[in-house]
Amino acid sequence: MDDINVIKAIRNGKPLTEFEDGSISGVMILAAMNARDAWDEIPEKMRNRRFAKMAVSKNFRHLSSVKKEDRPQCCSSFASWGDRISRKELDDFKKILNEQDNKFINNAVKQSPGIRRFVAKKTGSLDRNIQDHRLNGMHETSKKPQKERFYVDNDEFSSFDFANTDLGAIEEMTPEAYLARPVELQTQEDLERLLELPDRFPADFIERLQMPYRNAAFYKQAGDSERAALWEAKKIPWLNRQVCEKIALMHPEASVKTPGYLKPEFIQDFWDWALENNFDKKTLTEYYLSFPSEMLTEQMSKDIEVDWQVLRHTPQFFVGSETARLYLNRHPNDVFRLPGQYQTIGRIIADGTVLTLGNIVKIEDKEVRELIACAVGVELPEDNR
């Protein structure tokens, strides 16, 4: 029997106890728990947080058999019973609720305020009394005193003549200002001075300098001589490959849209300079994501803030790494944003992932995608099968 048929059989009622312990997989348990309350069928060693939360959602009594360290994560599932508990089940619910610690009970009351009436008051339980007091909204919110605002009426200042004051140069030397100049003012000397400045260049700086060359060629080929002549007049006569390579050498970020001028050593030199000048991790991460992944090094990946975009940009450094493991433990649902190398079955069905159709279709491996869809009872569109 192939995997899909096994999953279908489990969903149709075949108990997990009919399989040998070593042959039971996480997807099989997912299928069983999705179709019914199969908590008692799961081998002890395979009872994880995801399955524990599913079990408590189906039967609040299962909280008593959940490992103590996993119970806080089951609080929402348990609290969901607060508004649907029957009179017949009430005594069991109150007993299990009051066996939990104060933190669990307070969190449950926050999520389902109706549970408060089932909480047994304990003498000397200061934390719980304080929490009840806060939940009842009886405390007064403290308000900071507002500072008085003073307005100064300064006749000398109001009569100051700004019209005859030198307010500095009209145009600053910035990359954007240089690009906005008419062609006759886009001098090579000013470009040389601009390259010496630490300003961040736009990613399309070289591309925009070259725009008249591309447009002139396009209109010439299209037979529009008038527009071709218009763009010919806007060409920078001294712009050539050597100049573009120099720009890419001194400011690699200016060549992101024209990666043909970039070289790994340009990026490495720039990176070393950025570290020497104490660039913060956020800025380094932005640069890291803008450069071609094949020109980056593993050492650079240690200088940045890792998020799903970094993991996706350079999987060659992170697939199977401790950094990726820790990140996905904190943000499990981001696995659906990542390439297939990260999308192991264990990661896909880990606690915290949301197995909706929208996420399942993002699974790159066709067989895994169909297996997960079958396990949770989702019908895949024709183009995703």
Which helix (H) or strand (E) segment holds residue 360: the answer is helix 357-360
Would you tell me the crossing angle of helices 264-276 and 281-290 to the nearest 10 degrees? 170
- The rounded distance, in Å, linking the Cα atoms of 374 and 5 is 9
211/233 same-domain check: yes
Is residue 293 assigned to a domain?
no
Q: Do 231 and 219 meet the contact criterion of CB atoms below 8 Å apart?
A: yes
332/375 same-domain check: yes
- The rounded distance, in Å, linking the Cα atoms of 330 and 332 is 6
Which among 260, 289, 315 is the end of a domain? Answer: 260
How wide is the angle at C-alpha 262 spanned by C-alphas 215 and 265, nearest 5°?
165
Instruction: Count how many domains the chain has.
Output: 4
Is residue 334 assigned to a domain?
yes
What lies within 8 Å, CB to CB, of 245 at 6+ separation is: 261
209/249 same-domain check: yes
Is residue 123 assigned to a domain?
yes
Q: Do 248 and 262 meet the contact criterion of CB atoms below 8 Å apart?
A: yes
pLDDT of residue 169: 43
29/52 same-domain check: no
Is residue 159 assigned to a domain?
no
Length of the chain counted residue by residue:
385
188/245 same-domain check: yes
Which among 235, 260, 285 is the end of a domain? Answer: 260
Is residue 277 assigned to a domain?
no
pLDDT of residue 382: 81
pLDDT of residue 22: 84
pLDDT of residue 162: 38
70/101 same-domain check: yes
Is residue 302 assigned to a domain?
no
pLDDT of residue 171: 52
31/57 same-domain check: no
Q: Do 27 and 372 meet the contact criterion of CB atoms below 8 Å apart?
A: yes
8/90 same-domain check: no
201/252 same-domain check: yes
Q: Six-digit token pair at 66?
A: 């959940």
127/86 same-domain check: yes
Segments forming the whole domain that contains residue 349: 328-385
64/98 same-domain check: yes
Q: Do 105 and 132 meet the contact criterion of CB atoms below 8 Å apart?
A: no
- The rounded distance, in Å, linking the Cα atoms of 24 and 43 is 9
DSSP 8-state class, residue 100: S
Tokens 């993002």 locate to 362
54/97 same-domain check: yes
Which among 138, 172, 198 is the end of a domain? Answer: 138
Would you tell me the crossing angle of helices 102-111 and 90-98 to the nearest 10 degrees? 130
pLDDT of residue 159: 46
Residue 287 DSSP SS3? helix
Q: pTM value?
A: 0.80
DSSP assignment of 161-188:
--TTS----SS---HHHHHHS-GGG--H
**Which pLDDT tens digits describe the chain residue by residue (385 residues)?**
578 999 999 999 999 999 987 899 999 999 999 999 999 999 999 999 999 999 999 999 999 999 999 999 999 999 999 989 999 999 999 999 999 999 999 999 999 999 999 998 763 443 444 444 444 543 444 555 555 544 444 444 444 443 443 433 435 789 999 999 999 999 999 999 999 998 899 999 999 999 999 999 999 999 999 999 999 999 999 999 999 999 999 999 999 999 999 999 999 999 999 999 999 999 999 999 999 999 999 999 999 999 999 999 999 999 999 999 999 999 999 999 999 999 999 999 999 999 999 999 999 999 999 999 999 999 999 877 6
Q: Do 339 and 312 meet the contact criterion of CB atoms below 8 Å apart?
A: yes
Is residue 153 assigned to a domain?
no
Is residue 177 assigned to a domain?
no
Tokens 């992944």 locate to 293
